[in-house]
Amino acid sequence: MMPVTTATNNREEVRRRSIEALTPEIVAYIETCAQDAHASSHLIGVLHKVQAHFGYLGREQMDAVAQLLQVPASKVTGVATFYHFFRLEPRGRFVINVCLGTACYVKGAERVADRLCEELGIHFGETTRDGLFSLEGTRCLGTCGLAPVIMIEDRIFGDMTPDQVPALLEKHVLQAQREDRQNGD
């Protein structure tokens, strides 16, 4: 049997590493969930909380969740990869949401999406290597009268055509450069 002090030390070490990977508040939240007889039923809620803080679920964060909640790491990975709303990599500086709702689809959203993929060299759910853009699909942004619509950060761009895509991306590249200069990066 493992001596009590060793078990305690191991627990402390797990906790210390978990706080490094997560935050003290998230660790405390997971520890509360772990006391539940059905601790694993909190897994999705915990992953939402982690993603809300970090923007995505990294390996380090998922491992910490598995240890604190005492569920197999494979289960955490399985849940994180099964649900499309979990992201396993950081989002880009600009998140481009392409509306794939019916009104936008009928008005050519697919061609706009294809052009975005082509110009950025990524697929939906991916981020450009420079970390500038992530591409995501969404259902009806509530501005069907402007279809086809894309949203970058909080801004809506309506009546989009594939030919407008390069200039729109360039505008955001310049914006990023301007902001970096202002911040002295």
Binding site for ligand FES (CB under 6 A): 99, 101-104, 140-144, 147, 149
- The torsion of the CA quartet 72, 78, 84, 85, rounded to 10 degrees, works out to 0
Q: Are the CB atoms for 152 and 96 separated by under 8 Å?
A: yes
Q: Between residues 55 and 108, which has the closer beta carbon with respect to ligand FES?
A: 108
Of 89, 179, 176, the C-alpha closest to 132 is 176
Compute the chain's Rg from CA coordinates.
21
Q: From the CB of 97, what's the least distance to ligand FES, in Å?
A: 10
Q: Between residues 49 and 107, which has the closer beta carbon with respect to ligand FES?
A: 107
Q: From the CB of 123, what's the least distance to ligand FES, in Å?
A: 20
Report how far residue 79's alpha carbon sits from residue 71's, in angstroms, rounded to the nearest whole number: 12
Q: From the CB of 151, what's the least distance to ligand FES, in Å?
A: 9
Q: Between residues 56 and 157, which has the closer beta carbon with respect to ligand FES?
A: 157
Q: Omega of the bond prior to 148 within 30 degrees of 0, cis?
A: yes
Q: From the CB of 55, what's the least distance to ligand FES, in Å?
A: 24
Q: Between residues 86 and 105, which has the closer beta carbon with respect to ligand FES?
A: 105
